[in-house]
Amino acid sequence: MKSFQTKIAKQQMRALPPAHCHSVEFVLDAPHPIYQFKLWRSECNCVFLLVKDSSEVLPQLKIGSILPMKYLSGEPLAPMEIRKTEIKNIINERKGRFEGHHRVELAIVASENDASVQSSALTV
């Protein structure tokens, strides 16, 4: 049982962007527009972004879609990283702190060493 829990924990760690990343950028219809959102982390270590109910980008986001996303840091010398990222879930927040928004949960699906994700894949 312990090895199963360890395996799950390792998978979750690989699915999270580095802690120093505070926002993400992506393009749905290249080359423009470029969408930028703040990254949030929930208590269960889920990474998500918030999209207003009225946003034009919301209907274009689909669960299961995999997009190259540029992860940005607030630290001036930290490099940006482009990672393949899956939209795991989209939840309509009808009450509470995020009322009027949809929570878009993300998971990185490729390592930073994946040759198919290069800096040229997303020119921003």
pLDDT in tens, 53-97: 999 999 999 999 999 999 998 777 777 889 999 999 999 998 889
Question: CATH number for the domain including 63?
Answer: 2.40.10
Contact 14, 25 (CB under 8 A): no
Q: Which domain holds residue 44?
A: 2-121
Tokens standing for residue 86: 């899956």
User: Between β-strands 47-52 and 101-108, what pairing exists: parallel, antiparallel or unpaired?
Assistant: antiparallel
pLDDT tens per residue across span 25-41: 999 987 789 999 999 98
Give the chain's domain count: 1
DSSP state of 97: T
The pLDDT value given to residue 110:
58
DSSP state of 74: S
CA distance 105 to 112: 20
User: Rounded to the nearest 5°, which phi and psi values hold at 87?
Assistant: -85, 110
Q: How many residues does the chain have?
A: 124
User: Rounded to the nearest 5°, which phi and psi values hold at 55?
Assistant: -65, 140
